[in-house]
Structures are given as structure tokens and as C-alpha cells.
Structure 1
């Protein structure tokens, strides 16, 4: 078994280095699909501020992800039990979005995605597809550089999980307790395809409360939704609120801009996000 594990680690490292050459940031994974390196903060006292790698030590999961070959080799050297690798989503240059189609129970996630595509008038373009040992599929898509797609589980439809910023996909060639992840025939040479605009809009989070009143109340709710954003949510919330405002002709560009500034976004970031929402909804006259 030790020899098999060593071989699996060597293969995983080779696949990880190959992925890094394509601009995909990677981390080593264990057979359980979890990051192979343990957190250096696991013994920190309760209430210690979270660290995303600022301390400089390895063990921060997806925040360790890198395309640097020397760094990748060093991470795998620190985790000789690793038999796979994870590919970080949401990072430049691809800004990868993973659509995870699961096969648990009676769930037909492929049919659910097909129904969503028919209802919202989009098609999934030819792209990388990774087959999972359990019979599922991972579709690789790319997103705009200034749009933050969050992780979600079953929100889009039962059996469909989304891997976005702060998430990762198990890379092809990884070996887990269930088997080996492999690229679907005919897709390994493809670059990740751009996410259809209609699907991208579905991937962004809705407000936590519904707005059923008149347009003025709806607009107030969208502004409050932006104001309630915490760090890491600000661009996502501003983009979602701006899309809804443009779709409903609410004329909230300035109010949303000011709300975003109050949350800590820079004017440049806020304007860029508003412009992206305007382009996505076809409101080109309001991009500024």
C-alpha cells in the first residue's frame, strides 16, 4: 500500500504541475478530497481572527493555491500522503467556475441543468468535463474578472453544486477513496468556456429577504442589501443588486455606488462592478 500511495502522490504532483502550466492554481489533496496540509491555526484559542495565509505558513487550504512549480513541489513534499490535487476557483487568469453535477439518490442533476437551460435560454458551450468516481461530472466554466461567484450547494437546483471564489475542484488524475477523477473523452484539450450570461446571473446570490412592495421599496431593499455586505461579499452583493436595479429600471446607480463606498469598496471597484452589471443586463447607457 505504501508503494501505491507513493505512486499516487507522484502522479498527482505531475498532474498538478501540468494544470499549473495552464494557469490553474493548485493545492495537494488527501484521499478524502480535503486539503492535505493541516491548518497551522488549529490550536489557536477561540476568537482568534481568521487567517487566509497572511501568516506565511502552509495549511490554509485553497488559500495556499499556487501556479509556481517550486511552491507546488514544496507543498507536496510537506504532504507525502497526498494522492490528488485541488484547483482553486475564482482566481486569475481563468476565474474558474465549477458546476458540480451530482448523482446521489434519485437526483438527476443533468436533467435539472437541462431544464434550467431551456427555461432561461442558455446553452453550455463545449468545455472541460471531469468525470468523478461516483458517476458525477464537473463542468469547467470561466467568469468575468470583476464578478465574484460564490460557492453554493443545491441552490441552483437539487444535485447541482457551484464551486466559486474560495472553493476548489478535484483535478483530473486525482485518486480518492472512491476512485480516480478523469477528463471526459474529447474535452481534455479544450479551454474552460465562458459561463453563459444567463447562467451567470443565476449563480449570484439573491437578497435574504424578498421585496414585494412598490419600486421605491424594492430600491430601498437593494441599497440595504449592499450596505449589509461584509468583506468578501461586497462586489458580489453590489453586482447582484445592480443587475436587479437595471432590470427593473429603478435608477439606483448613484445610490448603489454610494452604498458600496460605505461598505469599503473603492470608487474604482464600485464603478467597475456597476459597469459589469450594466453590460450583463444590456444597459450600456448606464455603465458609467
Structure 2
């Protein structure tokens, strides 16, 4: 079994490198179709919403790259990877994935639904890269223009049609999952992803919400809310609440002015002054602006 695992991992890396040669950013996936590398922030409290700025691997789709050396390093760190993901929305292809699921239980025919949309909105689906999934579905690969951001969605177009856009990813052909192997549909391996028809692109990008002027709370009002948030903390959440409140205060530019009030609130919950000021100092360091690399 170990030999099969090594062979599968080796093949996954080979397929990923081949995709990267075509300009597709890739990263390793496990057999569950989830990122194969564990987040370096998995045990940090409060949760850290990092997109790879820390420089460590383990940020899912944000690890995706076309650099062969970096890809090999990612797979070396994930020896049990059995597949690879392809980041959508990234240059140069700005990939858009149309995921046509098979739902025999509810009788949904996603292929027919897409054909009906094409007739209704007067567009033709061009020949393009098509990946067959182990469940009998298929992924259509299309490309988007530089100035359009396509969001991810599930069954918004029609039941069984999911869309993978910016921030999403597709399982690459050649990947092996617990349900089977993803493979290129016959006759599409030589194709490049085709441009998304304009009429379909309009369906994939919902109209922007009407602009409403934001009602901005004053620092005093915001500060009072953060202080009350800390005062309401129970044992086991005191440090977390204080740290979160201090981060918000520093992000809005009045962290130093609110420090004493936050310390007093933390003292009322049972923290010592040393513990409170240490948590606030950590928040100040985390929220400080950093030079771009």
C-alpha cells in the first residue's frame, strides 16, 4: 500500500508540474479534495486569517504557484498528497470552472440546465478543456477577462451547476480521490481553456449592490462597545476577547487612546494588569503596518 501511495503522490506531482507549465497555478490536495497541507495557524487563538503573508505553506489555494521549485517543495511537505488543485481567477488564464454535478436522487440534469441557459440567453459553449469527475460530472474550463472578478457560487445559475471563480479551485486532471480519478474528456486534452461567452459571463457576475453611504460610528462610541465586549467576558474567553477588541481598536486608529479603558475592563473580569497589557501589546504589534515585500 505504501508503494501505491508513493506512486500516486509521484504522479500527482508530475501532473501538477505539467499544469504549471501551461500557466496554471497549482497546490497539493489530499484524497478528500481538500488542501493536503495543514495550516500553520491551526492552533492559534484568536483565529488568524492569513493568506500566505507569513511565508509558510499551508494556506490552501493561496499556496498555488507555477514555480516548479516551489511546487516540488509543497509536495515534499505533503508526501500523502494524491492530487492537485488549480487556482481559479489567477493570471494568465483567469480560469473559470463550470462544475456540472450529477444528481440522480433529485433528477437534476445540470448539462441540460446549462444548455437551456445557452438557448435562453443566446450564447454557445465553445469547445474547451473538459475534466470528467469520478461521480460522472464534468468541469468545463473557461477563461475570463482581466477586469472581471467572477465569484464562487453553488447552484445559483441552476440546480447542480457550481461556479469556481476567484478564490476557488478545481481538482486537476490526473488527481486521485477517495471516489476515483479525475481525467480529461476524450478530444479535449489538446485544447486551451476557451474564453467565456459574454452572455454567460454576465450571468456569472451578479450586478453590484447599490451604494449606500456608510454610517461611521465615532471612536468614542466604537470604543465603548469594545470595552463592554471585554467586560462581558467569562472565564476561558477573557484573553481572547481582550486581544480581539484591542486589534479592532488599533485597526481603527484609537488603540493607544483606549488602552487604559480596556485594561480596566480586563481587570474587572479577573485578568491581572500584566496579562492585560501583554495582550494589548500583542494586538498593537499585530496591527502595525508592514512594508510590502
Distance 2:20 2:127 in 1: 22
- The Cα offsets for residues 252-275 of structure 1, whole Å up to 9 and x where unpaired, read as xxxxxxxxxxxxxxxxxxxxxxxx
Report how far residue 44 of structure 1 moved. 1.2
Count of matched residue positions in the alignment of Structure 1 and Structure 2:
213
Residue 16 of structure 1 aligns with which residue?
A: 16
After TM superposition, the score normalised by the length of structure 2 is: 0.71
Distance 1:109 1:25 in 2: 27
Report how far residue 206 of structure 1 moved. 4.4
- The Cα offsets for residues 115-166 of structure 1, whole Å up to 9 and x where unpaired, read as 0000000011010000000000000000001111010000010000000000
Residue 44 of structure 1 aligns with which residue?
A: 44
Distance 1:160 1:2 in 2: 37
Residue 93 of structure 1 aligns with which residue?
A: 92
Distance 2:29 2:55 in 1: 19
Residue 101 of structure 2 aligns with which residue?
A: 102
Report how far residue 59 of structure 1 moved. 0.4
Residue 64 of structure 1 aligns with which residue?
A: 63
Residue 123 of structure 2 aligns with which residue?
A: 122
Q: Does 1:134 find its partner at 2:135?
A: yes
- Structure exhibiting the larger radius of gyration computed from Cα positions: 2
Residue 2 of structure 2 aligns with which residue?
A: 2
Indicate which of 199, 211, 214 corresponds to 1:223: 211
Q: Would you say the 8 A contact 2:151–2:164 is kept in 1? A: yes
- The Cα offsets for residues 81-121 of structure 1, whole Å up to 9 and x where unpaired, read as 00000000000000000000000232100000000000000
Residue 271 of structure 1 aligns with which residue?
A: none
Q: Would you say the 8 A contact 2:132–2:184 is kept in 1? A: yes
Distance 1:142 1:18 in 2: 19
RMSD, aligned CA: 1.5
After TM superposition, the score normalised by the length of structure 1 is: 0.72
Provide the secondary structure at the position in 2 that maps to 1:87. strand
Report how far residue 223 of structure 1 moved. 2.9
Residue 160 of structure 1 aligns with which residue?
A: 161
Q: Give the gaps of 5 or more residues in structure 2.
A: 216-293
Residue 25 of structure 1 aligns with which residue?
A: 25
- The Cα offsets for residues 40-79 of structure 1, whole Å up to 9 and x where unpaired, read as 1111112x45110000000000000000000000000000
- Which structure 1 residue ranges, 4+ long, deviate > 3 Å from structure 2? none
Provide the secondary structure at the position in 2 that maps to 1:156. coil
Residue 55 of structure 1 aligns with which residue?
A: 54
Q: Give the gaps of 5 or more residues in structure 1.
A: 208-220, 229-288
Residue 200 of structure 2 aligns with which residue?
A: 199
Distance 2:92 2:58 in 1: 23
